[in-house]
């Protein structure tokens, strides 16, 4: 029997959010039947472990220590995101932070204090583990020395329920690049895996030329993608651009998470890089999450998605927050604002 494995059978993605991060559900072949059993068995034979379902979350660009325009709320959006996720029925196995954990500052002691504050807030998440990569605000000033003192190495990998996760540092090499040494490490790290292994890469900057004039790129991103090219099921998660974006490039789909501090304008309609202005009448503009759950539909595993938006009865600190569920999302998790 010949069975084709759809890449989207491996990762069910639930969008992104400025207020909560992005919630992902890994739900491979959650249907019963001969075809599904064949795929699971085949993956187990080739990769040593059959993927099983789990949920994880992605937060990005928390910029702890940032204050003033365009977001006078500062870290309170990050704090509210932690509270909301903890109160939600979705308990992720772990949370990924894709860079710019802190806002940079020249004074080393002040920057270290911001890193400790990030750790305190993130430590409140009810999850089994937290995995981070640096952003340029965390690592550019000193080549990542202070970041590594507080959070450890910026590139590493781990396995979870049949999926291989790879953290890449594309900010600490004196510019937007991964570097030859880290690419060699990546090649060696992946060498033990078969081409069918599900691989999820998380990093800060996009690994393609999204908008080079806005610094939305990685100089050697093409070389990194060449290392990943032999693998059939690769997903890249990143931050930096402070916008939700989805790009299918060859066999790889790239997902950007919104920021937890402010959003940037649409680069396709604006020549100048500008943050969206804070609106006190709409303080949670662009805040929310999309939650995905695999559901059986005949012989396939479709994706049901609800968008959870944040609202406030009153704007007093961040009190009065409520969750409202709005349907109408497509079965593949896309919506009218998705950029394909």
Query: For 28-81, what is each residue's pLDDT tens digit?
Result: 544 445 555 665 676 677 667 766 777 788 888 999 999 888 888 888 878 877
> In this model, does residue 335 exceed pLDDT 80?
no
Beta strand pairing status for 252-256 and 233-238?
Answer: parallel
Q: Provide the number of structural domains found in the chain.
A: 1
In the DSSP assignment, the letter for residue 260 is S
**Which pTM does this prediction carry?**
0.81
pLDDT digits (tens, 9 = 90+) for 69-106: 888 888 887 887 788 778 877 778 888 899 999 999 99
β strands within 118-240, DSSP E? 129-133, 156-160, 163-167, 198-202, 233-238
Instruction: Look at residue 334 and tell me whether its pLDDT is greater than 60.
Output: no
User: Residue 220 maps to which CATH number?
Assistant: 3.60.21.10
Domain that holds residue 139: 7-326
Query: Within a domain: residue 303?
Result: yes
* Structural domain includes residue 60: yes
Cα 298–chain centre separation: 31
Return d(Cα 38, Cα 45) in angstroms, integer.
10
Question: Where is mean pLDDT largest: 133-147, 228-242, 269-283, 301-315?
Answer: 133-147
Q: For the chain, give the percent of residues with pLDDT over 70.
A: 69
Best CA proximity match to 79, nearest among 118, 22, 127: 118
Q: What is the pLDDT of residue 91?
A: 77
Continuous segment of H or E residues that includes residue 82: helix 76-87
Distance from C-alpha of 163 to C-alpha of 202, rounded to nearest angstrom: 13
* Cα-to-chain-centroid distance, residue 177: 19
What are the structure tokens assigned to 330, written together? 């497509």
Residue 160, in any domain of the structure = yes
Mean pLDDT value across residues 191-216: 93
Provide the angle, in degrees to the nearest 10, between the axes of the packed helices 76-87 and 108-122.
Answer: 20
- The answer as to whether 340 is a domain residue is no
Q: Where are the beta strands (DSSP E) in 76-147?
A: 94-98, 129-133
More confident residue, 180 or 266: 180
């Amino acid at each position: 029997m010949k069975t084709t494995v759809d890449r989207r059978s491996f990762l069910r993605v639930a969008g992104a959010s400025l207020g909560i991060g992005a919630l992902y559900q890994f739900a491979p072949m959650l249907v019963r039947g001969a075809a599904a059993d064949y795929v699971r068995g085949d993956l187990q034979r080739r990769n040593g472990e059959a993927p099983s379902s789990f949920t994880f979350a992605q937060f990005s660009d928390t910029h702890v220590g940032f204050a003033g325009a365009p977001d006078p709320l500062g870290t309170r959006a990050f704090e509210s995101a932690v509270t909301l996720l903890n109160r939600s029925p979705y308990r992720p196995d772990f949370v990924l932070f894709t860079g710019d954990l802190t806002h940079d500052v020249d004074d080393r002691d002040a920057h270290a204090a911001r890193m400790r504050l990030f750790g305190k807030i993130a430590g409140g998440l009810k999850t089994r583990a937290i995995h981070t990569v640096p952003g340029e605000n965390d690592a550019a000033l000193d080549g990542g020395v202070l970041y590594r003192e507080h959070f450890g190495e910026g590139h590493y990998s781990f396995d979870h329920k049949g999926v291989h996760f790879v953290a890449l540092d594309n900010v600490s090499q004196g510019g937007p690049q991964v570097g030859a040494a880290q690419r060699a490490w990546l090649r060696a790290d992946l060498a033990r895996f078969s081409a069918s292994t599900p691989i999820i890469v998380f990093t800060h900057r996009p690994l393609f030329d999204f908008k080079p004039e806005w610094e939305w790129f990685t100089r050697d991103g093409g070389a990194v993608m060449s290392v990943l090219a032999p693998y059939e099921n690769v997903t890249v998660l990143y931050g930096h651009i402070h916008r939700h974006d989805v790009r299918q490039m060859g066999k790889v789909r790239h997902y950007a998470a919104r920021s937890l501090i402010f959003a940037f304008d649409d680069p396709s309609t604006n020549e100048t890089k500008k943050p969206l202005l804070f609106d006190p009448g709409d303080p949670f503009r662009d805040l929310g999450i999309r939650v995905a759950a695999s559901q059986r539909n005949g012989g396939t595993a479709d994706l049901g998605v609800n968008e959870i938006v944040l609202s406030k009865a009153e704007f007093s600190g961040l009190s009065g927050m409520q969750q409202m569920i709005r349907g109408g999302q497509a079965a593949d998790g896309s919506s009218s604002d998705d950029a394909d």
